[in-house]
Chain A
Amino acid sequence: MLDKVIFFFFAGVAILSAALMVTRRNAIHSAIFLITTLLATAGIFLQLRAEFLFIAQIILYVGGIMVLFIFVIMLVNLDVALHQIQFSRQKWVALLVTLALAAEVGVMLWSSRGIPGQGFLLPNAAPASQLPANTEALAGRLFDAYLLPFEIASVLLLVAMVGAVVMAKKRT
């Protein structure tokens, strides 16, 4: 009962603020609603007992990336440009993409219906006390089973960082 209330609260906030994010004309307002969406998603992670994902979402997306977004929005005066290009009327393309996405999600839910415990409703999830500690479990998977992909992703990020520094450096 309580679980459902919490889930629908977070899901509702996420969807509502995602819609508002798209429709606001002011870039800062859009950013605020994007932050709300990300926080609500973090709440859903927490409800799924993925504590590490919850806090990683808050620290990285909300505390890091969105701060830089707002920083850039404040530095660059986007008002004029945004009002011209924001509501471009590509209705038919948008409708097509939305329909395709909806069909995809529908097919996924439909096909996962038969698998026990894998459908979109989990009737008997394991109680929280029986789950392994989330951070440790995640670290075990990342640094044990998926070490190579993890390291490749790290190197990729490092390359991007070094590249950004090189490009931003003054040429003398």
Chain B
Amino acid sequence: MSPTLHAVIAFLQTWWVELVSGVVIVAVVPLITGYMVLMERKLMADMQARLGPMRVGPHGLLQPIADAVKLLIKEDIIPDDADKMVFWLAPVVSMTAALTAMAGIAFGPAFEVARDINVGLLFIVGVSSLGLFGIVLGGWASNSHYSIMGALRSTAQLVSYETAAGLALVSGLLMAGTLNIRAIVDAQYSSGVWFGFLTPVAFFIYAVASIAETNRAPFDLPEAESELVAGYMTEYSGFRWACYFLGEYANMIVVGAVATTLFLGGWLRPFPRVHWLNWLDAVPALFTAAVGVYCALRAGKQPVRVQVWFMWAVALACFAVALILAVPLAVAPLKFMVPGLNGAFWFLLKITGYIYLFMWLRFTLPRYRFDQLMHLGWYILIPLAIVNVLAVGVAMILEMEYGWNRWLALIVTTILTLATALFLLRLNDKRAAAATSAVPPEGPATEDSYAG
């Protein structure tokens, strides 16, 4: 008994940070996901000149919790002809993959679960790609035509766009020279510029491919509600459906974190090496304080007493966070906390910006047709990504071996890549024109929508 107890205590002493972080991820991510949905609904309402959810809590702030409770107490339906085991397994796989991938993300220099793993970025990308099995197996197990169509589309889409995303990541990683997350951010610190500006083409390709990988509009073909009811989730309800939803939104956080780490400077503030901009270190505290002041001002205008109190509570929470962010700036012995706290702030701000872009695109662009999606992936993005990898490699060689200025080398190669992109687009137009002239208009069925 005693040696076992000792072993357990030793185990806890070694690994308590990781264990606590794991529990925090599992506990907090569903909450964040709920508020992402609220943010999305509010943004959609704003862009469509509506108010969005307003009833539950002030400005609908408690709506996610109400939704979660509703999903938990909803009847859980399993179709009679479904494959029970796989039907049960699929949403769990989807959610687990997304949450596990989160273990590799570093939310700032002080907040990392899997500390300094050698293959950090690949770990995140590889594990989050396992979420695909949740979609495929769920679609298959439901034993429904809509579901299996959604699953097939999803497989084809994700396999295609993962290639493009991987090649785009290679372009960025060439400059970082490592897969370790901390080293990637350090490389951006020492080069003084975010890699997104050095390889804009790779960043663009990754942004497009990551939208397709998270099944977001305009690439939400696997769950296109006007064609497939809800795609692979058609037969799912209640908690299982919530698992899928959680996985999908957690995946958005994951791709946002990958893009932020590699292309947007990770947890670095803007211009990390320009010293007269050091006042930017105070921005996190000021920002949260400003949000708190705004909430306090709005509190008096709430229609119901409870909502007034709630708004004050939100304002006080903001002030508390602002205080936590501000105290290390002012008190000298706590200075060591500044990089960690501010880093987490900037990282989360960048991820939020990236996710905001996703949502903005969703409300702006119409959905692609499936063959258009495949054409974009295979005929444009993948060749462009390959050319870009070559171009970035050439730029690195020019810089290291021939002493070119880094910017000059990269600008020349980027222009070359963009010329290739124009060439590819023209080629694609020609191909499309040839296809339309060759195929009689009443026979569109000759188009193989799963080609590739």
The residues of A with any CB-CB pair to B shorter than 8 Å are 1-2, 26, 28-29, 32, 35, 51-52, 54-55, 58-59, 62-64, 66-68, 70-71, 74-75, 133-136
The residues of B with any CB-CB pair to A shorter than 8 Å are 7, 11, 83, 85-86, 89, 117-119, 122-123, 125-127, 129-130, 132-133, 136-137, 140, 148, 151-152, 155-156, 158-159, 162, 178-179
Q: Take A58-B126, A63-B129, A68-B159 as given contacts and tell me if A29 and B152 are in contact as well, using a CB distance cutoff of 8 Å.
A: no
Contact in complex: B86, A32 (CB < 8 Å): yes
A130 shortest CB reach to chain B, Å: 14
A63 shortest CB reach to chain B, Å: 4
Please indicate the chain A residues that have their CB under 8 angstroms from the CB of B159 in the complex: 64, 67-68, 71
Q: Which residue of B lies closest to A39 (CB)?
A: B130
Contact in complex: B132, A135 (CB < 8 Å): no
Contact in complex: A63, B119 (CB < 8 Å): no
A120 shortest CB reach to chain B, Å: 25
Please indicate the chain B residues that have their CB under 8 angstroms from the CB of A66 in the complex: 133
A–B Cβ pairs within 8 angstroms, 11 of them: A2-B11, A32-B89, A51-B119, A52-B119, A59-B122, A59-B126, A68-B159, A70-B137, A71-B159, A74-B140, A74-B152
Contact in complex: A135, B137 (CB < 8 Å): no
Q: Which residue of A lies closest to B177 (CB)?
A: A136
Please indicate the chain B residues that have their CB under 8 angstroms from the CB of A59 in the complex: 122, 125-126, 129
Q: Which residue of B lies closest to A134 (CB)?
A: B118
**Docked complex Cα distance between A115 and B7 (Å):** 32
Q: Take A28-B83, A55-B126 as given contacts and tell me if A67 and B119 are in contact as well, using a CB distance cutoff of 8 Å.
A: no
| B155 interface neighbour in A2, A26, A29, A70, Cβ under 8 Å | A70
Contact in complex: A135, B118 (CB < 8 Å): yes
Closest 4 interchain pairs by CB? A59-B126, A63-B129, A58-B126, A55-B122
Extra inter-chain contacts (17) besides given A55-B119, A58-B126, A136-B178, CB under 8 Å: A2-B11, A52-B119, A55-B123, A58-B127, A58-B130, A59-B125, A64-B159, A67-B133, A67-B155, A67-B159, A71-B136, A71-B155, A71-B156, A71-B159, A74-B151, A133-B118, A134-B118
**Docked complex Cα distance between A50 and B89 (Å):** 29
| B132 interface neighbour in A2, A67, A136, Cβ under 8 Å | A67
Q: Take A1-B7, A28-B140 as given contacts and tell me if A62 and B130 are in contact as well, using a CB distance cutoff of 8 Å.
A: yes
Please indicate the chain B residues that have their CB under 8 angstroms from the CB of A35 in the complex: 133
Contact in complex: A71, B152 (CB < 8 Å): yes
| A51 interface neighbour in B83, B118, B156, Cβ under 8 Å | B118
Please indicate the chain B residues that have their CB under 8 angstroms from the CB of A64 in the complex: 159
Please indicate the chain A residues that have their CB under 8 angstroms from the CB of B123 in the complex: 51, 55
**Docked complex Cα distance between A67 and B155 (Å):** 7
Contact in complex: B148, A74 (CB < 8 Å): yes
Contact in complex: B126, A63 (CB < 8 Å): yes
Contact in complex: A28, B86 (CB < 8 Å): yes
| A134 interface neighbour in B85, B119, B130, Cβ under 8 Å | B119
**Docked complex Cα distance between A63 and B179 (Å):** 19
Q: Which residue of B lies closest to A131 (CB)?
A: B118
Please indicate the chain B residues that have their CB under 8 angstroms from the CB of A135 in the complex: 118-119, 178-179
**Docked complex Cα distance between A55 and B130 (Å):** 12
Contact in complex: A52, B118 (CB < 8 Å): yes
Contact in complex: A32, B137 (CB < 8 Å): yes
Q: Which residue of A lies closest to B123 (CB)?
A: A55
Which of B86, B119, B130, B179: most chain A CB closer than 10 A? B119
**Docked complex Cα distance between A70 and B11 (Å):** 39
Please indicate the chain A residues that have their CB under 8 angstroms from the CB of B119 in the complex: 51-52, 54-55, 134-135
Please indicate the chain B residues that have their CB under 8 angstroms from the CB of A26 in the complex: 83
Please indicate the chain A residues that have their CB under 8 angstroms from the CB of B140 in the complex: 28, 70, 74
Please indicate the chain A residues that have their CB under 8 angstroms from the CB of B127 in the complex: 58
B147 shortest CB reach to chain A, Å: 11
Contact in complex: B136, A74 (CB < 8 Å): yes
A21 shortest CB reach to chain B, Å: 15
A35 shortest CB reach to chain B, Å: 7
Please indicate the chain B residues that have their CB under 8 angstroms from the CB of A54 in the complex: 119
Q: Which residue of A lies closest to B7 (CB)?
A: A1
